[in-house]
Amino acid sequence: MASEMVELHDSGERSSGPGLSVAAVARRLGVAPATLRTWDRRYGLGPSEHRAGSHRRYTAIDLTRLEHMRKLVLAGIPPSDAAKEAIALDVDPSTLTPVTDIAASMDARAPGTESVGRSGGGQVIPIPGGTPASRGLARAALALDGMACQRIIREAIDRRGVISTWDHLLVPVMTGVGQRWETSGRAIDVEHVLSDSVHSVLAERTRELKEPVNSRLVLLSASDEESHFLPLWAVAAALAERRIGTRMLGARVPQEALTQAARRTGPAAVFVWAQIPGSARVSVLTDLTTLRPAPTVIAGGPGWAGTPPPGVGVTGDLTETVTRLARAVGM
């Protein structure tokens, strides 16, 4: 079997030498080669090995930084912010596997163990380490089959619960779709079908709760500039699994409207989501802490800027968010 250290490039030339090619790194990470070229062009996360007359190659250090960036992106961090952190990563070369060994291990993989294969004219959603469920969901989304998407999501929630399904199925696939749109300008229709399917199932699970155990509900809202609302439904569905009732305000809720809604409903807790980096300041939530009876106030997402004032907490993931909100209602 030919080594991944020798690749046919877009120009048709064959190049060899130390380091990994774009195609080899793309396969290892489970992303499209175009994604790597975009990260190189936009963020400076490109191959650093270069010899006269040959293509630039990725070193083990380059690969470590790219793997770190990919993990951050899958966790929901915007690519520009993930790239800054990846570039600043302190890498000890003595701890890294040589690229020759990496290439050999890739060659030794059994057929079918590589990342998502190409089908349907080359359409592919990159999902590193994808499970059968994630690959199935990606295929259903590419086929614009909303019913199949919903079926896969429901089955995953039935087996693993909302939090695990969100972390290990929905976030990776939605991130892969977003990456495909970012690098190619295509797949907006795929993203719409997938988002609608996720929303439908999470809202369905939330509304199945008829008799919540909490008398004071949990109020869920996005910040005034935030249009992303799926994380709010993930919180609502995960709380519903614990029989904790919620009240959903949705996206783009002005600060004054949020405060008024909290004053009228008297919630045990208020959770506010901000995803766009720097789009919201934690200090705007201070008024919520002055209400009586005082709710637990939690800001979630990577969009918050500033130091949280007394009485406002910040959460970093769905598990932490649900745990703190459950505690707020006495569970």
Tens of pLDDT along 125-181? 777 767 888 888 988 888 888 999 999 999 999 999 999 999 999 999 998 888 776
CA distance 67 to 27: 12
Helices marked H in 88-229 — which ranges? 99-107, 132-142, 146-160, 162-165, 171-184, 188-207
Give residue 164's identity as a one-letter amino acid code. S
Is 60 exceeded by the pLDDT of residue 16? Answer: no
Tens of pLDDT along 19-47? 788 888 887 776 677 778 888 888 888 88
Tell me which of 200-204, 229-233, 257-261, 306-310 is least confident: 306-310
**Region label for 276, one of left (φ > 0), alpha (ψ between -120 and 50) or beta (otherwise):** beta
- Domains identified in the chain and CATH numbers: 7-107 (1.10.1660.10), 132-207 (1.10.1240.10), 218-328 (3.40.50.280)
> Which pLDDT belongs to residue 114?
37
> Which pLDDT belongs to residue 123?
57
> Which pLDDT belongs to residue 220?
98
CA distance 34 to 38: 6
Tens of pLDDT along 85-132? 888 888 777 777 776 666 665 554 433 333 333 333 345 677 776 788
Planar angle of CA 222, 257, 78, nearest 5 degrees: 20
Tens of pLDDT along 195-239? 999 999 999 999 999 999 999 999 999 999 898 899 999 999 999
**Region label for 301, one of left (φ > 0), alpha (ψ between -120 and 50) or beta (otherwise):** left
Percent of the chain with pLDDT over 90: 42
Phi, psi at residue 218, to the nearest 5°? -105, 125
> Which pLDDT belongs to residue 243?
97
Tens of pLDDT along 286-295? 999 999 889 9
Query: Can you tell me the mean pLDDT for 250-276?
Result: 94
Is 60 exceeded by the pLDDT of residue 54? Answer: no
Q: Across the chain, which distance is largest between two alpha carbons, in Å?
A: 72
Beta bridge partners of 312: 297
> Which pLDDT belongs to residue 12?
33
The whole-angstrom distance between residue 99's C-alpha and the CA centroid of its chain comes to 28
> Which pLDDT belongs to residue 4?
31
CA atoms within 13 A on the CB side of 232: 25
